[in-house]
Amino acid sequence: MASSDHENENNGVVEDAWDYKGQPAKPSHSGGWLCAAAILGVELTERLTTLGIGVNLVTYLTGVMHLGNAESANIVTNFMGASFMLCLFGGFIADTFLGRYLTIAIFTTVQAMGVTILTISTIVPSLRPPPCSPEGTCVQASGKQLSLLYVALYLTALGTGGLKSSVSGFGTDQFDESSPTEKSKMISFFSWFFFFISIGSLAAVTVLVYVQDNFGRKWGYGVCACAILAALLLFVSGTRIYRFKKLAGSPITQVARVIATAWTNRNRDLPSDPSLLYQGELEPETDDTCKRRTVTTLSHSKQFRFLDKAAIVVDNPDVETGKGRMNLPTLTQVEEVKMVVSMMPIWATTIMFWTVYAQMTTLSVQQATTMDRHVGKSFEIPPASLTVFFVGSILLTVPIYDRIVVPVARRFTGRKEGMTTLQRISVGLVLSIFAMVAAALAEIKRLTVAHANPNPEGLVPLSVFWLVPQFFLVGAGEAFTYIGQLDFFLRECPNGMKTISTGLFLTTLSLGFFVSSALVAIVAKITSGDGTSGWIPDDLSKGKLYNFYWLLAALSVLNLVFYLLSAKGYVYKEQRVSTTSVDEEESAIEMETCGQA
């Protein structure tokens, strides 16, 4: 009945949504779970592909392409970093030019092309160096062979970034927020979205890695290429029943416009009265519940006053006559940019967690290749499959947090959600410190056994399960940090800039990988030379990898201090915004449009 009433209220169509013909979308003929399932299929194959390539790529680079450990680690982290960084580009393209549907379709095709080229490079013998000789002489991959590999990897990264920027948004477009029934389904969609990500990750680090190590990379990468194409066909097949939204324009453009205009007006004096700044046109929004229209604007704040110059209208003839107002940022838009700027210290201090995270797909996997990975007498765990403990830790931590941590925290804090988003992130940062301590201690143990039992092949008679604590701690940390960050950026971003929130979050992942690459390169250069092998040599048993882990632990402690200082000074949006008083941060101008009962 509720669904029928809602449909009647909206004349049988979904507000602000259109079908593939450009006609208003009808609730009974578009959207819903069938569309969401096809979209989730794209996300599952994206996780399967990106993580399946990333977690096991370092062993391919060292074992097949014959590259050094440090160089291989940097190639992996640069690939993963580019995948997340390109989400900003994909989001800009989707919001400004193509829309989410075309962005997903085009960039999924690009990802399929990249993985196909990668598959071909593992099949054709001339595209990779010959195997090492019996004497142990290895020929490094040539420039041509590496160039093709880079083309394949970065096409895959481009595809991943493009489609990942739009998958969750296009999924939520299939549900009408103004309908109570569909809104509850949309909330369930986020749970299923995280579930499909986890399933794709689990399949990548178990089934796919096993296929790569036991049947060959060509089969592993080939499976990925086929899965992407199947998901693309499934996605395109739903075109007739999808709901589409109009292009909203990129929030990045708004941020750039405010900053550029403020810089242009840098020599102008700010008016003493903020009401003289450009307010823009007030466009009322209809509230069907009370049948009145409201206009919400953000009042002037004293933070980052330089940005106020973007809304100066004094001595601006074009603006005063109305000719230049289309390009002049309003005071509300300036305040929205200020809110984003105030989030940047939190953004910057969460990057370090993902730098620690990056080690789980590179150096920790390299440690595993030298250790005893047997379970029983016949089965040997693939090195990259140790990340199953990482994924398992995430899946275990989430329900423990919801069922145990939240109720306990609620008693102490009085908050319904138990912990604030910033507190949740801080727990993840602390766990990442313990992870690096565990990693350093495990490496010291590995080196002790290696030196006591020298082996020409570099194998160490020590169980690989000594590495489980570092994987488990980083996985638990991700459960806190990932969800905490996503919640923070979605909740704290201004309403008109929601699409930039996911981009801000994903860039912390990207920069974490890039910082890892930079640290590995710097450490390798500084600690090697003059006949010394350095901390991260090709043969880890001759290095001091534990020192690198100690360095990361120390940097993480320092980062935690800055994070806590930033978090202490941060004022939540809900605390500084009020809709009940025009004298507070947010004012509401209400215009009655119906008679009183």
User: Which domains can be identified in the chain, with CATH numbers?
Assistant: 17-248 (1.20.1250.20), 251-339+583-592 (no CATH), 344-569 (1.20.1250.20)
What does the DSSP assignment read for 376-394?
A: TTTEE--GGGGHHHHHHHH
- Convert the pLDDT of each residue in 513-570 to its tens digit: 889 989 988 998 898 877 677 888 878 888 889 999 999 999 999 999 999 999 988 8
Calpha distance 508→485 (Å, rounded)? 9
Give the total residue count for the chain.
597
Q: Are 422 and 484 in contact (CB under 8 A)?
A: yes
Calpha distance 475→412 (Å, rounded)? 26
Q: Which residues contact 129 (CB under 8 A, 6 or more apart)?
A: 64, 65, 66, 138, 139, 140, 141, 142, 145
Q: Are 267 and 73 in contact (CB under 8 A)?
A: no
Q: pTM score, two decimals? A: 0.75
- Convert the pLDDT of each residue in 467-510 to its tens digit: 999 999 998 998 888 878 877 887 777 765 666 677 778 889 88
Residue 53 backbone zone (phi > 0: left; psi -120 to 50: alpha; other: beta) = alpha
| CA–CA distances in Å: residue 381 to residues 35, 209, 213, 393 | 38, 10, 10, 18
What's residue 579's pLDDT? 45
Calpha distance 97→82 (Å, rounded)? 22
Q: Are strands 285-287 and 371-372 parallel, antiparallel or unpaired?
A: unpaired
| CA–CA distances in Å: residue 184 to residues 189, 193, 403, 542 | 9, 14, 21, 57
Each as own residue / partner, the long-range contacts of residues 399-406 (CB below 8 Å, 24 or more positions apart, any chain) are 401/479, 401/480
Q: Are 589 and 282 in contact (CB under 8 A)?
A: yes
| CA–CA distances in Å: residue 377 to residues 67, 238, 381, 455 | 31, 48, 12, 21
Q: Which residues contact 293 (CB under 8 A, 6 or more apart)?
A: 284, 285, 286, 287, 590, 591, 593
Q: What is the largest CA-CA distance in the chain?
A: 94
CA 192 from centre of chain: 17
> What is the layout of strands, in order, in the sheet containing 292-298?
285-287, 292-298, 586-592
Half-sphere exposure of 371 (CA within 13 A, CB side): 26
Residues of the chain with pLDDT under 70: 1-11, 183-184, 187-188, 190-191, 248, 281-300, 314-327, 495-500, 531, 574-597
Q: Are 42 and 267 in contact (CB under 8 A)?
A: no
